[in-house]
Amino acid sequence: MIMSMRNTALITLFVLQFVVQVEAVENPRAPDNAAQEVGAIQSAAEVDRRVRSFIGNYCVTCHNADEQNGEVRLDHLAVRISNAAIAQQWRDVLDILNTGDMPPKTASKRPSQDELASVIGTLTENLVTAQKMLRGKGGETAARRLNRVEYINSVRALTGILIPERYVPADENGTEFNTLGWYQTFSPGVLEAYQGAAESAVETMLMEGRKPVQDSRLTRIDTPESRLLGRDESGKDSVRSAVKHYISDPRHKTGLLIYQAEYKWTHYKLRIPNHDFRGEYIVRARVAADESMQEELKFLRVHQEKAAPLYFSLHDAVDAPKVIEFKALADAEGTVELSNLRRSQLRPAITRAMKRGKPVPKIWIDWIEVEGPVYVGRHVQLREQLLQGVNERQIASSDARRILNRFAAIAFRGSPVQPQFIDDLVVIFEQELDTGKSPLESLVKPMAVVLTAPQFLYLTENKSHRSEEATPAPLASHEMASRLSFMLWKEPPSDVLLAAGDRLLHDRTFLESTLDAMIADPRFQHFIDEFFGQWLELRRFDEVQVDSKAKTSPLFDTKTRQAVRRQPLEFVKLIIKEDLSLTKLIDAEFSVFDRNMTGYYEDLQPYRSKASWNEFKQVQLSPQNQRRGGLLGMPAIQMIGSSGVETSPIERGAWIARTLLNSPPPPPPPNVPQLTVDPKLTVRQSLERHKQIAQCYSCHKKIDDMGLALETFDALGRWRSRYKDGTPIETAGHMPDGVRFANADDMKQRLLDHKDSMIRSLVEALIVYSLSREAEFTDQKLVDHLVRHSKDNGYRLKPLLLEFVSSKTFTHK
Amino acid sequence: MILNRRHFLASSTSLLALPQLQVAASETGKAPQRVVFLGFGFGFTEDFYATTFGSDYELTPSMESLQKHKQDFTVISNLWHKNARGAHGGTVVYLTGADAHGPTARNTVSCDQVAARYMGNETRFASIQVTTREKGGGHGGGSSLSWHENGTSMSGVAEPFRMYNMLFGGQGTPYEQRLAELQNEKSVLDAYVGNMSSLNRNASKLDRERLDHYFQSLREVEQRIAREKLWARKPKPRVDYKLPAAELDGVQEITAMYDLILLAMQTDLSRVITYRQPIVSLLQALDIKYSAHAISHYQKGEDLKKAMIVRERKQTELFASFIDRLKATKDVDGSRLFDNCLVSYGSNLRAGHMLKNVPALVTGNASGKLRHGRHVKMPQETPLCNLWLTLLQTLNSSVKQFGDSNGVLRDLFA
């Protein structure tokens, strides 16, 4: 078989991979000797020998040139996987070794558990590596559809309108990054959904944008009678008693009352008078909390559709009311909801107290002021720019052509707009007019078509050079601006960035200052949320369900969940803003908390005074709380390995292997039965059974111990020194390379020994995230360089990003 | 890829036929044959599966609700998709049998679409894909159980009220108006199609593969518009069924979809239907706090197992009532709808991560060829595609092979 130069080169790389890779060989029966074997190198020759020896001893008797049981012949199978057919054959061999069906139990010569575990481990790694190599596409970034965040931001950049998430097709990326194109499907339903979303955005911009602007006004709401509207002492029993209870509090006459947790009075829907959704409003309220409220629950919650909920602490508003203020980004109906605890396990107790006529904890609001509207939305300006020089009431086809051309030119982000396309759009405009719509209304559909065309909906680059050969070509200047903008801000490049495209490609100093400015900009939050959120796999946390009414998880409600979710990303933000080493992610002497977290986690309560309600603040950790340092000390990460009720050490260990050690465990082999949990065994004892079965052990030896070290954090990330039944928690174990650790803190030190692996994991993720493709073999040189460069620059993110975006890989296509 | 708009239509209308002008099929004789593929994720617990075989086999407690129909369905064991590499792949290849794992793999045509080639020409809808949009429902990617030849997913209708509108809505629209609406839709489509040519000039081979999905969707829309034009003169059937509410719980949702599937068959709106069933909303309706994935790993605890059993019993109960209604519904020629359809019910996986010996149940007796009332045990690792082939061949003998099928399940026949 004659192989092409490319394949030879790839195979050489593949072989070198094994020569350079460091992997210790572990003897499961002698854990203490394992430490001495750190550094043993598994070369390609070693792999070859091991696999051939196994096949020779245990398989070839029945699967050779003369005899092929089950039509399988193994004596001549190449160990080096150079094409998909060989990969498939090895996959079949591995599958059957994993199910234990081969070698057959009746065979005269069978391998020991160690031999079996060893060859399974080798074959699995071999296969994963080879499959990665075979998937290589020469580093080409393929066209992909904008994901949800990018689509919403891109539509807003063009129309000034923020489409709510639920109108946009969800990303179906599963466990992959949502910037990868290959998982994306398309169908008429998806096309329809995008067109519909675009139509509503455009319609809002065109139709609403022209309403006359209101003057800003200050309105005071003193005694909202509507609180009792429609409810009086007649009617249903429950309503009657609720009303009676409400009016029994004299304060109801001079303000409004919000009950801590009883459904009829738990919230107040503030309706902004003469609401104009295009504008923003300032809302002020004078509030006080009852002394009888639990300390940690003295707050007012402000919920708005378009923003994250705000919490105003009221523990300093018990004796005397105080004034709070916030910006209202009200929903379409102009409502903002004020409440304390909407649903909680306090409700039954409070309802009972109410029924008996007893007083219950409340928040009293003296008055509410609403000031506005103040117009800041871009849609008003964008609309003016779009309709410049045209009389809105008399849009002729030639005007429509001009408007649509203008719109498409910006929407297509540098891709050419064909005149025939505009012709087709004008036809649609005219047909809409025929149905009786106004000229402005008739522009909605053709503009929506622009926003549903691939030049808007997909991120594409000019790759005509790829049809001739596989060598990359430099990006065009607008393509560089686009890559940077979508990577750091998740939106299309601004005019300024577009104009600077050339300089960004050729002037490193300019690139550096631009990067600094982009990182300092509030829009950089998208990078933190999207890149780090996905690299840290926070989606897995989102999927954990916690029954906040259960006795096992009191009050792990929405606000706690929200705070827990934000913590790791706020920590990342701090590290970036302060230009600190990324190794702090593994362990740090400080962390960040907000008041919702210190309220929920007992061991964090000493930090209460330093924490605030709506903001995460940096807090120095005391010596006893060092266990809370770094990502592994954070509930969000710990809960990635949790069912909401019990911990999952395997998931926790696997997360560490993937994210911090860049050594993802292979997926569980298909058709292997699960081990049944024996309730009499401890968690550690249950997982010990993995050690007894060769097929399990080969992968689990690199996962289980690390997860078990975190057993001192329960299923909700709360610290515990013992299990509920009193059994002490053992935390000692081994790293995948065999080095021992005594507990989680010790494990973090061992993880710091491998900090380069974490950086490697981050860099490869960065390639996937910003270039929309897998990190391939051809990227290894760049990855090596970036890891070395990072080491030389204190492992800080900014130098790493700069080195990355100025690399040949990033600036070519 | 054909980019000239004129050629575009010409290549796709060859399969379209004029709609039947008769109102009642009884004038032509027999009722038409239909096929329904029902699929759900996560399999069942091991307790669900019967351990005895033949005609005297015993139903397990989880299958209790099917006892009254025991003589009218067949359970088949030892079927699997050898190309299904991972439990986390979901139901993506359930009806295709393809090796569609990972970035380079491609799915292929699903068996219902093969059926639609033969059975979809005389009805308003060549096929109907009913689906669910929920995340974490064990289905993986794609918009329904149905897939095109080129590996793109077929969209489905996910809400009962939407399905109702699709089947029976728009009754009052005059013909001319409907045509005008369709013409407007066509103009929009023309704009999209015409726009594609400039894109492809600057695209690499890889880009074109990605954009092909988009282009395929345009083709589908074009076919739908053309088909609707042909059917525009014929009024939609009137049914005595209320528009379902927008907010339904899991049990109501599945029940409503079964109802609508039945009505679609009875009114001959379609003869090929797939239903990608929900589980997340079902669990919520049953007040189960665990996630679907958590209970699929029921080996981890008694509570999880209990929850999984509650779900499989309820799901089977809903299926049993579907069979009830199939038997109770009169078809156009006076026979039961049950006698003129084939229904398959199953999952891509057995339990946990086990992909071998998946649940497979067949009911309905279109063509009268199947002999029900038995638990059939096939040899180990028999392709699930053999079952699909069997159903396809029962309905149309010209189908010789499907997916990785290596034969027909003769044991199902009388």
CA distance B84 to chain A (A): 9
DSSP β-bridge partners for residue A218? A371
**Chain A CB contacts of B140 below 8 Å:** 174
Q: How far apart are CA A238 and CA A51, in angstroms?
A: 76
ipTM of the complex as predicted: 0.82
Is the bond preceding A373 in cis, omega lying within 30 degrees of 0? Answer: yes
Q: Do the Cβ atoms of A454 and B199 come within 8 Å?
A: yes
Between positions 418 and 447 of A, the ones with CB within 8 A of B are: 418, 420-421, 424-425, 427-428, 431-432, 435, 445-446
Residue B7 pLDDT exceeds 90: no
Pairing of strands A362-375, A256-259: antiparallel
**Do residue B55 and residue B187 come from a single domain?**
no
Chain B residues whose CB is inside 8 A of the A181 CB are: 210
Residue numbers in A near B196 (CB within 8 A) = 454
Say if residue B364 is in the same domain as residue B381. Answer: yes
Q: Is the dihedral of CA A44, A50, A54, A56 positive or negative?
A: positive
Neighbours of B84 (CB within 10 A): 26
Instruction: Please tell me which of the candidates B85, B187, B201 has its beta carbon nearest to residue A427.
Output: B187
Q: Does B203 touch chain A (CB under 8 A)?
A: yes
8 Å CB contact between A650 and A656: no
Question: Are B276 and B407 within one domain?
Answer: yes
Among A218, A269, A209, residue whose Cα is nearest residue A373: A218
- B373 interfacial to chain A (CB closer than 8 Å): no
B192 vs A431, A449, A670: nearest CB: A449
Task: State pLDDT tens for residues B39-76.
Answer: 999 999 999 999 999 999 999 999 999 999 999 999 99
User: Domain extents for chain A?
Assistant: 5-134, 144-210+392-460, 217-375, 532-665+702-753
Q: Chain B interface, mutation test: which of A671, A672, A689, most B Cβ atoms within 10 Å?
A: A671
Amino acid, single-letter form, for residue A27:
N
Same structural domain for residues B288 and B322?
A: yes
Task: Provide the chain A residues 185-244 that lie in CB contact (below 8 A) with chain B.
Answer: 185-191, 195
Which residues, 6+ apart, have CB-to-CB distance to B335 below 8 Å? B31
Own/partner contacts of A234-243, CB < 8 Å, gap of 24 or more, are A239/A264, A241/A354, A241/A355, A242/A354
Same domain assignment for residues B294 and B145: yes
Q: What is the pLDDT of residues B176-212, one digit of tens each?
A: 988 999 999 999 999 999 998 778 777 888 888 888 8
Distance CA A728, CA A712 (A): 10
Looking at this protein, which amino acid is placed at residue B95? L
Q: Does A623 touch chain B (CB under 8 A)?
A: no
The last residue of a domain, from among B209, B234, B259: B234
Q: Are the C-beta atoms of residues A766 and A527 closer than 8 Å to each other?
A: no
Amino acid at B12: S
Interface contact A98, partner B, CB < 8 A: no
Coil vs helix vs strand at B362: strand
DSSP line for B75-143:
EEEEEE-TT---GGGTTTTTTT-----STT------HHHHHHHHHSSSSSSS-EEE----TTSS--SSS
Write the residue in B85, B190, B301 that is nearest to A424 by C-beta: B190
Bridge partners, residue B128, by sequence: B273
For A180, which residue in chain B has the nearest alpha carbon?
A: B103
- CB of B295 within 8 Å of a chain A CB? The answer is no
B377, pLDDT greater than 50: yes
* Run of H or E residues at A118: helix A113-134
Q: B306: distance to nearest CA of chain A, Å?
A: 15
Among B136, B203, B213, beta carbon nearest to A460: B203
DSSP class of residue A349?
A: H
With respect to residue B8, please indicate whether it lies within any of the assigned structural domains.
no
Q: For residues A790 and B261, what is the distance between their CA atoms, to the nearest angstrom?
A: 60
Token pair in block for residue A673: 């039965």
Nearest CA-CA distance, residue B385 and chain A, Å: 18
User: Measured between CB atoms, does B1 come within 8 Å of chain A?
Assistant: no
Cβ neighbours of A425 in B, within 8 Å: 191
Phi–psi pair at A286, nearest 5 degrees = -100, 115
d(CA A703, CA B314): 37
**A675 Cβ under 8 Å from any chain B Cβ:** yes
Which parts of A110-226 fold into alpha helices (H)?
Answer: 113-134, 148-159, 188-203
Please indicate whether, in this complex, the C-beta atoms of B143 and A190 are within 8 angstroms of each other: yes
Q: Are A670 and B353 in contact (CB < 8 Å)?
A: yes
Show which of residues 64-123 on chain B sit within 8 Å of chain A, judged by CB atoms: 84-88, 102-104
Locus of tokens 């965040």: A149
pLDDT digits (tens, 9 = 90+) for A132-176: 777 777 778 888 999 999 999 999 999 988 888 888 998 888 788
Q: What is the dihedral of CA B350, B351, B352, B354, to 10 degrees?
A: -40
DSSP characters for A72-84? ---TT--SS--SH
Cα–Cα nearest to B96, from B104, B107, B85, B80: B107
d(CA A678, CA A676): 6
Close Cβ partners of A765 (under 8 Å, ≥ 6 residues apart): A177, A531, A534, A535
CA distance A687 to A715: 17
In a domain, B349, yes or no: yes
- Whether residues A671 and B153 touch (CB distance < 8 A) is answered with no
Question: Is B191 touching A (CB cutoff 8 A)?
Answer: yes
Domain CATH number, residue B49: 3.40.720
Our measurement of the distance from residue A24's CA atom to the centroid of its chain's CA atoms, rounded to an integer in Å, reads: 33
- B212: domain range? 172-234
With an 8 Å Cβ cutoff, are A676 and B202 in contact? Answer: no
Q: What is the pLDDT of residues B302-338, one digit of tens each?
A: 888 999 999 999 999 999 999 999 999 999 888 999 9
DSSP A414: T
Q: Report pLDDT for A37.
A: 27
- In the beta sheet, which residues pair with residue A335? A271
* R_g over Cα of chain B: 21
* A 403-422 residues with CB < 8 A to B: 415-416, 418, 420-421
Residue A776's alpha-carbon distances to A81, A137, A557, A785, in angstroms, are 16, 8, 42, 15
What six digits make up the tokens of A126?
């071999």
CA-based nearest residue to B323, from B63, B31, B112: B63
CB contact under 8 A, A547 and B136: no
Assigned domain for B206 exists: yes
User: Does residue B17 form part of some domain?
Assistant: no
Task: Count chain A–chain B contacts defined by CB atoms under 8 A.
Answer: 180
* Minimum distance, in Å, between the CA of residue B208 and any CA atom of chain A: 8
pLDDT number for residue B325 = 95
Residues lower than pLDDT 50 in chain A: 1-5, 8-41
- Which of B81, B157, B208, B214 to mutate against chain A (most A CBs within 10 Å)? B214
Instruction: Say whether residue B162 is in contact with chain A using an 8 A CB cutoff.
Output: no
3-class state of residue A68 by DSSP:
strand
A642 to chain B, any CB pair closer than 8 A? The answer is: no
> What integer pLDDT is reported at residue A455 of this predicted model?
94
Contact status of B283 with chain A (Cβ, < 8 Å): no
pLDDT of amino acid A223: 63
A83 Cβ under 8 Å from any chain B Cβ: no
Quote the DSSP letter at residue A416. Answer: P
Is the Cβ pair A674, B353 closer than 8 Å? yes
Cα separation of B109 and B98, whole Å?
A: 9
Distance of CA A379 to the CA centre of its chain: 29
* Residue B86 or residue A483, greater confidence: A483
Contact state of A460 with B224 under an 8 Å Cβ cutoff: no
Does A464 contact B at CB distance below 8 Å?
A: yes
Fold of A217-375: Jelly Rolls (2.60.120)
Rg over alpha carbons for chain A, rounded to the nearest Å, is 31
In a domain? residue B20: no
pLDDT mean across residues, chain B = 87
CB A326 within 8 A of CB A310: yes
Contacts A172 to B, Cβ<8 Å: 141
Enumerate the residues of chain B whose CB falls inside 8 A of the CB of residue A170: 133, 135
Nearest-by-Cβ selection for A466 from B86, B196, B204: B204
CB contacts, 8 Å: A174 with chain B = 88, 140-141
Residue A625, amino acid: N
Residue A404's CB is within 10 A of a number of other CB atoms, namely: 26
| Cα separation, A716 vs A646, whole angstroms | 9
Chain B interface includes A167 (CB < 8 A) = no
Q: Shortest CB distance from A183 goes to which of B85, B136, B141?
A: B141
For B134, the token pair is: 């929920």
CB–CB of A643 and B141 under 8 A? no
User: Phi, psi (5° rounding) for residue A20?
Assistant: -80, -30
**One domain for residues B194 and B161:** no
For residues B303 and B210, membership in a common domain is answered with no
Query: Are residues B166 and B181 located together in one domain of the fold?
Result: no
